[in-house]
Amino acid sequence: MSEEAVTIKDWLDAVVSSSKDLASTALGIDDFEVISIREDPAKDVESAFIALVGEQASVQIGVASSTEGCQQLARTLLAMEPDEEDLAEDEVTDAVGEVANIIAGQVKTEMAEKSISVNLGIPIFLHGHVKVTEEMELMIADVRMGSIPVSLLVLENHSGATPN
């Protein structure tokens, strides 16, 4: 496949596929459903983003949910018992960042098979909503991992510059 053939939808499909794999392995959740695909920015959420940047592509992959959803995601990743206390904010941030990191790693591997070479950045955690500029394109898959609602985001930078 040529690099021109890889669209933002291809990136999102790779993210969804990796997320489904992560849900069944790291989270022990086989009940994974894609609710909707949209292009409008998410409302205020907690998001972990990781950049995948190379000569042929510059995208950021995001994993977003509500504060409660992020807590659930982190607790599930850590296999915590229901009676254990909620995680502190920095622990949730670290865990959701690691979820984004694992997904991004699988996406990188999948894209390498399509001759798209990218390097991964370090996860960053954001509170709020995504602002899309004219040089960017956004696509979001709203999914459900068990009872946890999660939005998977791909933000593609068409300027060729490294996203920040």
Partner 1 sequence: MKILVVDDSKTMRMIVRRTLRQAGYGSHAVEESANGKEALDSIKASHPDLVLCDWNMPEMNGLELLQALKAEEICVNFGFVTSEGTDEMRSTASENGALFLITKPFTADVFQEKLGPVLS
Residues that bind partner 1 (CB under 8 A): 21-22, 25-26, 74, 77-79, 91, 94-95, 97-98, 101-102, 104-106, 108-109, 112, 120, 122
Q: Name the minimum Å distance from CB 116 to partner 1.
A: 11
Q: Name the minimum Å distance from CB 6 to partner 1.
A: 16
The C-alpha R_g of the chain, in whole angstroms, comes to 15
Residue placing its CB nearer to partner 1 in the complex, 64 or 95:
95
Question: Residue 121: what are its φ and ψ, rounded to 5°?
Answer: -90, -170
Residue placing its CB nearer to partner 1 in the complex, 107 or 136:
107
Residue 130 and residue 155 in contact, taking contact as beta carbons nearer than 8 Å: yes
Q: Name the minimum Å distance from CB 108 to partner 1.
A: 6
Residue from 90, 12, 7, 98 nearest 56 by CA:
7
Residue placing its CB nearer to partner 1 in the complex, 114 or 144:
114
What does the block give as tokens for 137?
Answer: 């394109």
Residue placing its CB nearer to partner 1 in the complex, 120 or 132:
120
Residue placing its CB nearer to partner 1 in the complex, 40 or 90:
90
Sign of the Cα pseudo-torsion (120, 17, 155, 89, in order): negative
**Which of helix, strand or coil describes residue 108?**
helix
Q: Name the minimum Å distance from CB 91 to partner 1.
A: 7
Q: How many CB atoms lie within 10 A of CB 19?
A: 26
Residue from 3, 26, 8 nearest 148 by CA:
26
Q: Name the minimum Å distance from CB 1 to partner 1.
A: 16
